[in-house]
A = this chain, B = another copy of it.
Amino acid sequence: MAGNRFVRRRAKLRSGVRQAGADAILVSNFTNVSYLTGFRGDDSFLVTGGSIDLLISDSRYTTQIQEECPGLEFQIRRSGQTMLEAIAKNAKKAKLRRLGFESSSLSFESSEKLRNAAPSVELVPLSGMVEQLRLLKDRQEIAEIRDAVQQAERGFRILRTMINGKMTELEAAHELEHTMRRLGAQCASFDPIVAAGSRSALPHARPTERTIGESPFLLVDWGATNSAGYKSDLTRVLTTGKILPKLAKIYRVVLNAQRRGIEAIRPGARCCDVDAAARDVIKSAGYGKRFGHGLGHGIGLDIHEGPRVGPNSEETLKPGMVVTVEPGVYIPGWGGVRLEDDVLVTPDGYELLTTVPKEFEDAVWG
């Protein structure tokens, strides 16, 4: 039965909530609600624990919940009743004494309103409980991420054949998203970065009206969100003009760093050590100060989720985690090189989920 996956996730959460000393938890982060129920809309909260396991939504979503969450108990709040009033009412009805809530998602104002609406219920701030479950992807989730990777990779392959020097960064970014959607993606997993020449020195460059052919190279950072909401995240550099020796040199440093980072991935490895494996290569080449961000991050229903792979990250890799590995070297005014792939931690080591070629020769466009 399709619902079982979600029932299992909620059972794990309920057990964690009990251990944290609460009777139930209010899940207010919509991505977490999706993860726990399969419901893909917004403005809906889940209360689960003890005798209660209830999605609270509004009348816009009645049909969608029936379609997406077979077997899930849900309540459509009547118009005029706020979400927090509906929660308070159900908390009292279920005789909850201690109700946990997601304190990194619920606003201060909402927490106060809930406190006032349910004065007999003690509110317990809990943080990161669902995010902790989401760290480890199950088989189905890994299949969804593979799907998102495939949509991104096919989109990029098509973009490479369509791209020309007269296209602007913006046009290329829009073509890429549209192509991925044609291939079945729900949307891009974030606004694609298409950054020509010196713009690529900005890790979060917004595409502009600059034409691609004005610069000798181009950085593309993109991904797809598949129909189930799972995301991929890649970066490649394409040379679009004369090949610069400086570009070739930096490219090879970054590629070498990325390989070392990927090879350091295995169950039990500390994230800071994976970061260091890549960072040391860049430092040795004299570019240490030009790599200002962490090596990577988890992906899943969010484009940035745990674990963080950075110099200060004490987290330890476990089978089922999926992380990006994306070292970069950025020279202000000149440009930047970043290479990014998505990697699954397996029981034995790692599996590279992304397959876009990345030798420097592969970066030569046209």
Binding site for B on A (CB under 8 A): 40-41, 59-61, 63-64, 79-80, 101, 103-112, 125, 127, 170-171, 174, 177-178, 181-182, 187, 191, 202-204, 206, 292-293, 312
Contacts of A174 in B (CB 8 A): 178, 181-182
Cβ-defined partner of A292 (8 Å) among B59, B107, B181, B182 = B59
CA distance A177 to B174 in the complex (A): 10
Known contacts A64-B202, A174-B182; is-contact A292 B79 (Cβ 8 Å): yes
Question: A333 — nearest CB in chain B belongs to which residue?
Answer: B63
Is A63 touching B202 in the complex (CB atoms < 8 A)? yes
- Write 25 A-B pairs (CB below 8 A) sorted by A numbering: A40-B206, A59-B292, A60-B203, A60-B204, A61-B204, A64-B202, A64-B204, A64-B206, A103-B112, A104-B108, A106-B107, A106-B108, A107-B107, A107-B108, A108-B108, A108-B111, A109-B125, A109-B127, A112-B125, A170-B181, A171-B182, A174-B181, A174-B182, A177-B178, A187-B191
Residue contact A107 to B112, C-beta cutoff 8 Å: no
Residue of B nearest to A187 (CB): B191
Contacts of A292 in B (CB 8 A): 59, 79
Residues of B within 8 A of A111 (CB): 108
Tell whether, in the assembled complex, residue A41 and residue B204 are in contact, meaning their CB atoms are under 8 Å apart: yes
Residues of B within 8 A of A187 (CB): 191
Check B125–A108 contact: CB distance below 8 A: yes
Contacts of A204 in B (CB 8 A): 41, 60-61, 64
CB distance from A288 to the nearest CB of B (A): 13
Query: A230: shortest Cβ distance to chain B, in Å?
Result: 17
Tell me the bound Cα distance from A154 to B107 in angstroms.
39
Shortest Cβ distance from A199 into B: residue: B63
- Measured in the bound complex, the distance between the Cα atoms of B102 and A108 in whole Å is 9
Q: Return chain B residues, CB-CB under 8 Å to A110.
A: 104
Q: Which residue of B lies closest to A292 (CB)?
A: B59
In the assembled complex, the Cα of A292 lies from the Cα of B182 at a distance in Å of 34
Q: How far is the CB of A175 from chain B (nearest CB, A)?
A: 8
A178 to B60, CA, bound (A): 27
Bound Cα distance A280, B134 (Å): 49
